[in-house]
Structure 1
Amino acid sequence: MQSDAKRSTHVDLTRWRWAFAITLLLGVVWLAVAATLGAYRGYQERLAYQRARATLHYQQGMEYLKARRLDLARKELEFALRLEPDHAAAQAALQQLQQLEQMPRPQANPSPTPTPIPTTSPNPPPSDVLASAFEEATAAFRSEDWEGAIDLLESIRLSDEDYRRQEVEELLFEAYVARGRALIAEDRMEEALRMFDRALALRPDAADVRTERERATLYIDALSYWWADWDKAIERFQQLYDEAPDYRDVRQRLLEAHIYYAEKLGKQGDWCAAVQQYDAALSFENSADLRASRDEAEERCRTGVGIVLEGAEELPGRLALAAYDTMAGRYRIFVIPSPQEGPQVLVEDGAQPSWSPDGQFLAFRSLKPDELGLELFTLATGERHRLTHYVEDGFPSWSPDGQQIVFASNREGDRRWRIYRMWVGDAGSVVSLGFGRSPAWSPDGQQIIYQGCDDTGNRCGLWSMAPDGSNKHPVTDVPSDTAPAWSPDGQRVAFMSYERAGHWDIYLLDVETQEVSPLVVGERSAGLPVWSPDGQWIAFMLEQSGVWGIYVIPADGGDAIKVTDLPGATDDWLAERLSWGP
């Protein structure tokens, strides 16, 4: 009996296992069928949606075709075919459009009778198509797919302006506004304005939308003055802040604008105005660093200390340099620093400036198309006087008495660089001193140091000669040594070189001992050294991460201090020149 019971139990278990397996299998099959049916249903819904959109674009294409706006008709019909490639009516309409495009253009007189559009266009889309499109638009709206909702609703309006007009316009208005706000959040302000304009076209009396548009416009306007005009940028951001203090980052923008403006005013020496800007910034952020900057500006305002460069004591004289304005398409000569206005344009269409010893004149290379060559700029009158007539002439350097100029040029037919000397104001006095470039007249007037070689083209480096071209002899023996600049006392020469370390660096030459020592050496390009009038500083150009700037360094060595970014671009920095005058 026990054996029969065990067999019975075993059979029951076996049957139960089979039943469970069959049930499980049927469940899996049912799920697969359901998933397939669901996918198929989703596919059918997407297909119906595509067909509805294709019909709407087809209808718009036919409207354009009737109005003979063929380009717009083609776009709509081709878009309909992209949505539904087998759309027979769109295919036929596109063929008709092509025939119209191939017809000869009518003459102005007499006016021919226009060829009628074939009357084979189908009826407007049936209500079920529009209903499907409206349902899809509503679903897109609820899921916050503003672009999809707008596309469908606009298509419905184009196909049948009266179809559920109030509901369509209500949804379209809300979608325009929502999309505009989303675009503002993405910092796409111009596109947001277009959305608000569409919304206002539907509801001109929508005060809240008009306010949002005005604030976005004010924000864009304020940003357009960033870095260009701090007064106007601050004025507009302040207006926006007064109206809506929580609007985007307007509070942070105001804080930064006041700080940047204060720093700019400080560089210009207008410390009292800088104090006002720091006070305004402190109303937004009362930090220790900001208070310290404000206190320093107040002290300088009280004591009357003038121009101070970033991290440096007050520096003497004026620094001139040239930069290319990519927007205007021209070179300009700037003066840095300026007592009141900071870096400012001194000469248009000029490069390679050189101050006269008394600081009253500036010799430079003119780039004006009708005045190519060397010119003289008079600071007192702002007049330009032409010195030479060759576009190749450049790199002028003054004699210590201010009566003569040496310069370099490859004006001759062999295109070799030569050094010339002339009396200021006498173009007929130009005399060639021999081969070489980048000349610099010594403070005592006895030597001209330049980049050159011997008569055979060997032993290249820095050379020296008398002002009449005699007594030529080498000073250094590295061919890339160039751009020499005398110290005011005539005891040292600063120059730049590439071959000494494998990149452009700045070195000092002791004239008496002929010893060369590095001043600015590193992986970044540095060059075009020039001495301050008191001989305590050397200014130079240096490149960091593709950005050129003007720096100064103590003549006896130390840390370099940035003066400013180059106020423009440079297509060949090796052809530039700095000049530090009184």
Structure 2
Amino acid sequence: MQHSYETYFPTDSEARDWRAAGARHWIALILFVSLVACVLGALVIPGALGFIVGQQQLEEQTHEAAIQHYNRGLGYLAENYPELAFAEFQIALKYDYTYEPARKKLLELQAKSNPAGRGLPAAQQQDRVAATLYDEARNLIAQKQWEDASRRLEQLRTLQADFRAAEVTTLLYQAYVEGGKEAVASGHIETARERFDGALSVRNGDAQVQTFRDLAVLYLEGKQAVGYNWQTAIQKFTLLYQRDPNYADVKKQLADAHAQYGDVAAKTSPCLAAREYDSALALNQDAAVAQKRTQVMAQCKQVITSPPTPTATAAPGTESFAYKIAPAIETKSCVGAGDISGVVRDALGKPMANALVGYSTDGANFATARTNANGQYQFALNKEPGTFTIAVLSADGKTPNPMQATAQYPGGNAIGCHIVIDWQKVQ
């Protein structure tokens, strides 16, 4: 059986269609490859740049460390301590082996006449320098020169980490801990924290040293808050004083914080100021603080017994509310929480439901609440004291109406933590 095959030739239009389809496929492939290249470039290039920048920063840091140890070596040479200088130059080269000044000094020291070290192999020279550093550190510890001792021991560990490692660790721990205690006693708390950090780097998890560090951190956090956040300063100093009333000058710092916070509060919140002055006087009797306390206490009693009942005239098209702060009726301290509450009434004295009331404290925190069917509102407060500004808000829920009440919240653990402020619309 024979098969016949006929040759097929596409028409011109078919050929054009095939060529166009092939071109489209190539264009799509080129676009896809370009897209993949762009994506990979977006991922790889930033990573590569980040690696390069990080590597440059690391090289700069190690070079700076090399310069620092080189300069220390020059100092030891000037003081005629060639062994210590030798160690510093070696450490400098460990940080940056290309640092030629340190290499040159090492060669000079090796070339100098020194019967004890001439001809010794490099390893033996290093052992001799390590032994010198170790002996120096022991003598410094015996003299209670903790900072110099810890510096020698750190040099030794950098130079030769396995040289009498257990004894070096014990001595370094002792130098850091005792140095930290000494710094606390002299009032250098930041230095103390650094030394306790050093001790923890040697013996991580040491409970006693961790406690020492925690106390130092409380003190430093209190000092950092002085002048701009008195509540935080008082809180930190109080925690520290409760744990160790004899820590540095924490008693004075706490008394001063209470007194200075009282000075700030006296301008607008006499009751809060009186409480702060009382706290300061409980820690330290001071005639000036006692006099201030007498003045603000008189103002505080006036606020409690005869609260102002402001009158206001509403401008056309606006609303205005008068308020009255009810006298405190508690005879016992609260337990960790308090509140501000009250009733909002219309011009006829009827309760206003769904009225919006808001408060702010220290110009920062802000909260709102709507009255219930009986015109009542309430804000729950925590144990922290503060000065609160309360107002009935306009329809936009943000803008206070003309009258605003200021209340001194004594805190959730004090008498008077339930504050009642009633409002009535002015015709």
The TM-score range, normalised by the shorter chain, is 0.3 to 0.5
TM-score (norm: length of structure 2): 0.47
Structure number having the greater strand percentage: 1
More helix as a share of residues: 2
Q: Which has the higher contact order (CA 8 A, sep 6+)?
A: 2
